[in-house]
């Protein structure tokens, strides 16, 4: 009965607030009073017949991962000291000598920037290992860092755990140092290294497999070019099962998943149309069609979360000459809209410098970006406001208020079989806004393929203000400022019922201008 009481309360408050200007609409909404008495049975009806999930849905772990929204990359290795992006593999470990390494500084900077996980390059393409691996001499143990007693992976993991960040490891499949690269023996070496990393450092949340592969390198002194068969060489399935066996619950990134996928560029943006579903049979690690990865596939047979990787600087590794080229707070804000705002996860790289610290400029930019995002999304004008379906009088249901309850776990879908539905929000008074958030209940699958947003004009006509295709976990829209009390969204799916979990209405922070 609490449900009925709160519905009646909403109705009463809502009716008191109506003004003459919206008389006609008010009359339509007065049917809501009648609907209030029906609301209890409507809710019972919808909970008795929950929407069946689609065949392809995210796992519980994937759902939680998507909600992290923004995570970070730490590219730090011998390249930091040579000024290169890709080391050849013949660099002396003696070059690795950070003077003030402080992994807690990385973690605190990331945390203050809203990043929920950090992924460290434990070994980049040059083969140098940031931990004292028992399987190679090409590591920190032969560097001056802490007189060869250092373990950067340990320091990194401890700092993440201390400050509550999730941990991810990048271990380059391509190894330009190793003599056996290209032969089956190297795969054994690679698996041995994975086993060290995944058994000696506690819980690891993500393993990141790079698609960059093969070419020239030092290869133990051979100094030649080696190519591998991208489809067969690594035996990816056996690597993935080793990783999952050693760290149950870990999520694996690669061009082809199995949990998280590349979005086809290293500029940090997903396609404006972005399906988390994709046809896995079309993906090969290191040789997938980037355009396909950037959009996905509504008929895909796998759910692979899109991860948008990008560096805060032009390079992945720190280069002093790029100190003036650090992305500005507004550039980072733009990336947030193009990644998280397009149903992806933003993976932002923060490369420590030769001291072993994230440069002050990068830290400041990340902090300023975070404060802009926080202030833009601080006040959701739609939260708790009345949402009812359509102007189709026969079809009022109060269950549509699930889209303004602030919970992405609740959802609303048409009570009858239809592919297109519309929900009208009443903000209770006229407000200015220029940011819109839409969310789908992705645990039921990604359904919506098209949406249109309208505001109501003084003459009660609906005027279109934005339109788009996919929504997924989250879609953020930047529009010119509007002033309105009533907002309508029409949303549709192909051949199935669409479902929405949240609609948010915001005004951007002044700093976004
Ligand atoms: C690429 C690598 O080649 C880059 O150096 C960097 O690590 C980036 C994240 O992935 O494929």
Atom of ligand 1 nearest to the CA of 210: 11
Length of the chain: 513
For ligand 1, say whether the CB of 222 is within 6 Å of any of its atoms: no
Whether residues 141 and 194 fall in one domain = yes
Nearest alpha carbon, ligand 1 atom 7 = 316
Counting from 1 in the atom list of ligand 1, the atom nearest the Cα of 73 is: 9
**CA neighbours within 13 Å on the CB side: how many for 459?**
2
Nearest to 303 by CA among 64, 56, 498: 56
Q: Do 269 and 366 have their domain in common?
A: yes
CA of residue 210 to ligand 1 center, whole Å: 7
479 class by beta-carbon count within 10 Å (0-12 exposed, 13-18 middle, 19+ buried)? middle
**Which residue has the CA at smallest separation from atom 6 of ligand 1?**
316
260 alpha-carbon distance from chain centroid: 10
Q: What is the DSSP letter of 378?
A: S
pLDDT of residue 34: 35
Residue 14 and residue 104 in one domain: no
3-state SS assignment for residue 449: strand
Centroid of ligand 1 to alpha carbon of 267 (angstroms):
12
Co-location of 104 and 250 in the same domain: yes
Q: Are residues 385 and 371 in the same domain?
A: no
pLDDT tens digits for 60-73? 999 999 999 999 99
The residue assigned the tokens 């980049």 is 124
Task: Answer with the one of 333, 351, 376 that is the final residue of a domain.
Answer: 376
Nearest CA to 268 among 381, 370, 201, 347? 347
Mark whether 277 and 327 lie in a shared domain: yes
- Give distance in angstroms: CA of 213 to centre of ligand 1: 10
CATH number at residue 179: 3.20.20.80
Give how many domains the chain has, as a whole number: 2
Between CA 416 and CA 341 the distance in angstroms is: 30
Domain end call among 341, 376, 411: 376
Domain for residue 25, yes or no?
Answer: yes
Output phi, psi for 83, to 5 deg.
80, 5
Beta bridge partners of 421: 491
Residues 149 and 282 in one domain: yes
Ligand 1 centroid from CA 306, angstroms: 16
Are the C-beta atoms of residues 194 and 238 closer than 8 Å to each other? no
- Tell me, yes or no, whether 82 lies in a domain: yes
Atom number in ligand 1 closest to CA 211:
11
The predicted pLDDT at position 29 comes to: 32
The predicted structure's pLDDT at residue 390: 60
Any bridge partners for residue 422, and if so which?
A: 490
Would you state the structure tokens that stand for residue 273, as one six-digit string? 């149309």
| CA distance linking residue 492 with residue 476, whole number of Å | 17
* 94 domain residue, yes or no: yes
Three-state DSSP class for residue 75: coil
Q: How far is the CA of 86 from the centre of ligand 1 (A)?
A: 9
The CA-based diameter of the chain, rounded to the nearest angstrom, is 84
Q: Indicate whether 226 belongs to any domain.
A: yes
- What confidence score (pLDDT) does residue 44 get? 32
Going from the Cα of 263 to the center of ligand 1, the distance in angstroms, rounded, reads 13
| 265 CA to centre of own chain | 14
How many distinct helices (H) and strands (E) make up the chain?
A: 11, 18
Residue 288 lies in a domain: yes
Cβ(212) – ligand 1 distance below 6 Å? yes
Quickly list H helices, 184-267.
184-199, 236-246
Same domain for 330 and 419: no
In a domain, 137, yes or no: yes
Indicate whether residue 316 lines ligand 1 (CB < 6 A): yes
**233 plus 94 within the same structural domain:** yes
Strands 251-254 and 206-208: parallel
> Is the torsion defined by CA of 164, 333, 253, 136 positive or negative?
negative
| Residue at 60 is within a domain | no
Give the chain's radius of gyration (CA, Å).
Answer: 26
Residue 91 sits in which domain range? 69-376
194 lies in the same domain as 235: yes
Contacts (Cβ under 8 Å, ≥6 apart) of 57: 303, 442, 443, 444, 445
Tens place of pLDDT for every residue, the chain, 513 residues? 233 333 333 333 333 332 333 333 333 333 333 333 333 333 333 433 689 999 999 999 999 999 999 999 999 999 999 999 999 999 999 999 999 999 999 999 999 999 999 999 999 999 999 999 999 999 999 999 999 999 999 999 999 999 999 999 999 999 999 999 999 999 999 999 999 999 999 999 999 999 988 799 999 999 999 999 999 999 999 999 999 999 999 999 999 999 999 999 999 999 999 999 999 999 999 999 999 999 999 999 999 999 999 999 999 999 999 999 999 999 999 999 999 999 999 999 999 999 999 999 999 999 999 999 999 999 999 999 988 876 554 554 445 778 999 998 888 888 788 899 889 999 999 999 999 999 999 999 999 999 999 999 888 899 999 999 999 999 999 999 999 999 999 999 999 999 999 999 999 998 887
Per the listing, tokens 């990043």 go with: 115
- pTM of the shown model: 0.90
Q: Are residue 493 and residue 367 in the same domain, yes or no?
A: no
Find out whether the beta carbon of 309 lies less than 6 Å from any atom of ligand 1. yes
Nearest by Cα to 466 from 499, 427, 500, 437: 437
Listed residues 376, 407, 426: the one ending a domain: 376
For 122-172, what is each residue's pLDDT tens digit? 999 999 999 999 999 999 999 999 999 999 999 999 999 999 999 999 999
Same domain, 280 and 415: no
Residue at 52 is within a domain: no
Determine the Cα–Cα distance for residues 154 and 201; give it in Å rounded to an integer.
Answer: 7
In this structure, what CATH number is given to the domain that contains residue 482?
A: 2.60.120.260
């Amino acid at each position: 009965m609490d449900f009925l009481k709160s519905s009646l309360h909403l109705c009463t408050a809502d009716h008191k607030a109506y003004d003459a200007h919206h008389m006609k609409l008010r009359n339509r909404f007065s049917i809501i009073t009648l609907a209030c008495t029906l609301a209890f049975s409507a809710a019972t009806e919808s909970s008795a017949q929950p929407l069946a999930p689609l065949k392809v849905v995210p796992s519980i772990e994937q759902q939680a991962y998507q909600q992290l929204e923004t995570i970070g990359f730490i590219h730090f290795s011998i390249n930091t000291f040579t000024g290169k992006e890709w080391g050849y593999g013949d660099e002396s470990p003696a070059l690795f000598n950070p003077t003030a390494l402080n992994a807690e500084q990385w973690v605190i900077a990331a945390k203050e920037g809203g990043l929920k996980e950090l992924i460290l390059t434990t070994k980049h393409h040059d083969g140098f290992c940031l931990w004292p691996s028992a399987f190679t001499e090409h590591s920190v143990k032969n560097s001056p860092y802490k007189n060869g007693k250092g373990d950067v992976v340990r320091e990194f993991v401890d700092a993440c755990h201390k400050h509550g960040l999730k941990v991810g490891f990048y271990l380059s499949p391509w190894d330009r140092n190793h003599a056996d690269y290209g032969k089956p023996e190297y795969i054994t070496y690679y698996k041995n290294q994975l086993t060290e990393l995944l058994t000696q450092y506690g819980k690891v949340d993500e393993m990141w497999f790079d698609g960059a592969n093969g070419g020239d390198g030092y290869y133990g002194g051979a100094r030649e070019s080696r190519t591998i068969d991208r489809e067969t060489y690594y035996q990816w399935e056996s690597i993935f099962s080793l990783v999952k066996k050693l760290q149950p619950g870990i999520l694996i990134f690669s061009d082809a998943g199995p949990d998280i996928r590349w979005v086809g560029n290293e500029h940090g943006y997903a396609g404006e149309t972005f399906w988390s579903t994709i046809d896995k049979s079309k993906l090969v690690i290191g040789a997938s069609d980037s355009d396909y990865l950037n959009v996905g596939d509504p008929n895909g047979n796998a759910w692979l979360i899109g991860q948008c990787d990008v560096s805060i600087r032009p390079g992945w590794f720190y280069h002093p000459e790029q100190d003036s080229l650090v992305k500005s707070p507004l550039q980072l804000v733009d990336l947030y809209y193009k990644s998280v705002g397009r149903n992806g996860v933003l993976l932002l790289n923060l490369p420590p410098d030769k001291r072993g610290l994230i440069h002050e400029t990068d830290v400041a930019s990340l902090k300023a970006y975070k404060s802009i995002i926080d202030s833009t999304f601080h006040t959701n004008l739609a939260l708790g406001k009345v949402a009812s379906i359509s102007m189709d009088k026969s079809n009022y249901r109060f269950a549509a208020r699930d889209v303004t309850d602030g919970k992405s776990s609740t959802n609303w879908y048409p009570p009858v079989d239809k592919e297109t539905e519309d929900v009208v929000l009443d903000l209770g008074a006229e407000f200015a806004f220029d940011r819109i958030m839409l969310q789908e209940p992705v645990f039921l699958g990604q359904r919506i393929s098209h949406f249109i947003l309208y505001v109501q004009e003084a003459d009660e006509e609906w005027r279109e203000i934005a339109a788009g295709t996919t929504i997924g976990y989250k879609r953020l829209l930047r529009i010119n400022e509007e002033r309105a009390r009533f907002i309508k969204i029409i949303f549709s799916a192909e051949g199935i019922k669409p479902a929405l979990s949240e609609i948010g209405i915001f005004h951007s922070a002044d700093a976004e201008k």
